[in-house]
Amino acid sequence: MSRSSLSRRYIQATARKPQALQERRLDGYDFVALVLDGKAFAEDTLVTALGLTLQGDKIILGFVQTGIENATACTDFLRQLVGRGLRYEDGLLIVIDGSKGLRAGVEQVFGSETPVQRCAYHMRDSILFQSRWTSSASSPTSRGGYPCSNDSLRRQGRFRKLRNALTPPTQPPSSSTLASVR
């Protein structure tokens, strides 16, 4: 068997698994939460859906490859999940990474009354990223050469406090450390 025919067979065999995952019925599951997240790979974004059952099982529901996490792609993806049997009438908590496209898709498919929670891990990442960006200022009144308002300076101080509270300490934190973050 030649290398090229072996390669073609491998590609065909491995393409069947993701296709089966994308076509699997979801009627038999009782999900209490749906976690949606987009990850960038090269020039594309892969939006994934993970279902959480009442028993705590995590089940990959599907994914979509898109250029960006926009409302149209996210709405189509969520409608496809509902079309495969994802039930949400009895309540479903949606956890997202803060993407406006995901939020818009959730509201269009599940309605504006559906509870949406911003992922704590993504919030932590945003705070740590923001505090690194603001702490790299060249002076107390500028961020990379741009002047800052007093309100912006106060936020920088809060970001530093949050970063320090969220960064794993070398010693257990005191209760006053977390209480000082307002």
Read off the pLDDT of residues 10-68 as tens digits, 9 standing for 90 and up.
Answer: 777 777 888 888 889 999 999 999 999 888 888 888 999 999 998 889 999 999 988 88
Specify whether the CB–CB gap between 117 and 107 falls below 8 A: no
End-to-end CA distance of the chain: 67
Read off the pLDDT of residues 128-182 as tens digits, 9 standing for 90 and up.
Answer: 666 555 554 444 444 444 444 444 444 455 555 655 665 655 555 555 544 544 4
Residue holding tokens 């089966």?
Answer: 20
CATH 1.10.3470 fits 3-118, yes or no: no
pTM: 0.63
What are the domain boundaries of the chain? 3-118, 121-179
- Size of the chain in residues: 182
